[in-house]
Structure 1
Amino acid sequence: MAELRGVFWDVDGTLADTEMDGHRPAFNQAFEDLGLPLHWTPEHYADLLSVPGGMARVRFSARQQGVSLDDDLLLTLRGRKRERYLERCRSGHVRWRPGVLRLLRELDCAGVQQWIVTSSGRGSVSALLSGGGDGSWPFQGIVTADDVPEGKPSPAGYLHALQASGLSAEEGLALEDSAAGLRAARASGLACLLTPSPWDRDLPPLHGLAVAVLEHLGERERPAHQCWGPPCPQGLVTLEYLKFLLDPPA
């Protein structure tokens, strides 16, 4: 009988709506600051999201447009983008997804381990966490692109977090929003609950790989619509529902 002892959170698109309202405009501001001939529209950025990791997207986009970026310039760009992203987080442009703060508190009160596993860098995660809440977060650890050799869809981040947490994959559940994240979680052996990002075009055919798919985690005044999986009472993802997903009755 499986017992839920750990929840592993993705960041971008899962914890918060960071991509279109946070990372994209922060990169565009950094490009402008440094005089680079790059600008990402929402449509172009949606295409770039198939490339895991912000700086990997920069390299890919620059190659597409014939823009040369050396290592020193990339390092400067990374620092400037982090500054701009932090500004956006602190000014309220980046919003937590519905139900996230509620579920974080519930899991914390129940003593369930919570870990962040993301293909973003540690600076971006720190910017998000410092820009909201009271500064106290219930995460036992954070695994970022700086900690593993490969980002999602590689399972490296999740395997690293499982080892650090002392938990087996059967004792944990991942929360993701993307095809790359879903593949990474499943490759590590973790069951995965999806709250999809609307711009991930590769995700709908993969819904069956998840234990459930809901538009978000739900609030009492804003229940979540469900796309797949066992019915979620009142459209609210709770600790009891996560336990049920991990160990449904025979």
Structure 2
Amino acid sequence: MHCALWFKLVCSSGCLVVLALEAVFWDVDGTLADTEMDGHRPAFNAAFAEEGLPWIWDVPLYEQLLLIAGGRQRMAVYADQLGTPLDNAQLDRLRALKQKHYRQRCQEGAIALRPGVERLIEAFSEAGCSQWIVTSSGRSSVESLLIGLFGSSQHPFDGLITADDVRSAKPDPEPYLKALTISGCNPSSVLAIEDSQAGLEAATAAGLPCLLTPSPWEHELLARLDGEVPPAAAALLHLGETDLPARQLSGPPCPGGVVTLEYVNGLVQSSR
């Protein structure tokens, strides 16, 4: 699918505005939904138990392990740190077990969208903006999550770029560069929505403006946002709702703490 090569007009508060935004590239874990602590972490622990490994990743430990992009790599590094390296067959088996338990949690409804995500997805869809998933998670996990979040109906995304589609995970820009190539979108008309330092670096290296909604476990990123302006178009704790406004950390003022289509469109325009 290719993005439109012309800008659309949308009506906002009775005014017509030129829509500079052609597409939005959504990260998944920690951005689209609260998947890490309530989804992936318990699934890892269930996989370890099933494989007979005495590993338990509690919240503080998992927050540290999240600095490593990709679940398979996370397990490999952890095993090396313990002095008990795993071979490829063991890692593949653990990854498959973890995905099985993660799918089960998705189907049980254990994972929810972050504030403002559903509202903004609907606004993008109504405006005709293309929406893509760009993530370091595996395709099976992402597809299971989308079924859990959106039911059996068609999800709103035009395409998925996952860990199975690239050789290098974020912070390498390869996932975003591949999304740009396949979608046919112009980087100057695309916004990335991310929650992590690795995601921000990947989007920036691919030439994309990035809206940050940091996850609570991104301690270093949150500390840096309090002290200086990062190379992001804007940063808020989440996307906001009328009854749950988001605290803004950087970027142009976001009226009412609620990220809207118009606000996102302005970020893209100002980044050109």
Answer yes or no: same fold by TM over 0.5. yes
CA deviations over 1:180-203 (Å, ceiling 9, x no partner): 000000000000000001111331
Superposed counterparts of 1:1-250, under 5 Å: 3-134=20-151, 135-204=153-222, 205=224, 207-248=229-270
State the 1:86 CA deviation.
Answer: 1.0
**TM-score normalized by structure 2?**
0.88
For 2:197, give the aligned amino acid.
A
CA distance, structure 2, for counterparts of residue 15 and residue 178 of structure 1: 12
Q: C-alpha distance in 1, partners of 2:150/2:86?
A: 36
Identity %: 53
Match of 2:13 in 1: none
In structure 2, C-alpha distance between the alignment counterparts of 1:162 and 1:20, rounded to whole Å = 30
**Higher alpha-carbon deviation: 43-52 or 196-205:** 196-205
Q: Measure the CA separation in 2 of the matches of 1:215 and 1:203.
A: 11
For residues 219 and 15 of structure 1, the distance between their equivalents in structure 2, rounded to whole angstroms, comes to 15
Cα-to-partner distance string for 1:72-121 (whole Å, 9 max, x where unaligned): 22222111111111111121221110011111111011110101100111
- In 2, the alpha carbon distance for the partners of 1:249 and 1:95 equals 31
Question: What are the superposed Cα offsets for residues 118-159 of structure 1, whole Å, 9 maximum, x if unpaired?
Answer: 011111101111112233211111001111110000000000
C-alpha distance in structure 2 between counterparts of 1:123 and 1:248, whole Å: 36
Moved more, 205-214 or 14-23: 205-214
Q: Can you list the C-alpha shifts for 1:33-71, whole angstroms capped at 9, x where unaligned?
A: 110122111111111111100010000011111223222
AA partner of residue 169 (structure 1): P
Q: Which amino acid aligns with 2:80?
A: R
Tell me how far apart the structure 2 counterparts of residues 34 and 201 of structure 1 sit (CA, whole Å).
31
Q: Shift of residue 249 of structure 1?
A: 10
Give unpaired runs (5+ residues) of structure 1: none
* TM-score, reference length from structure 1: 0.96
Deviates more, 1:144-153 or 1:89-98: 89-98
SS at match of 2:230: helix
- Residue 164 of structure 1 deviates from its aligned partner by 0.8
Instruction: Give the AA of the match of 2:156.
Output: P
Could you tell me how far apart the structure 1 residues matched to 2:230 and 2:197 are? 12
* Cα distance per residue 1:164-183 (max 9 Å; x no partner): 11112101000000000000
For the residue of structure 2 that corresponds to 1:104, the secondary structure is helix
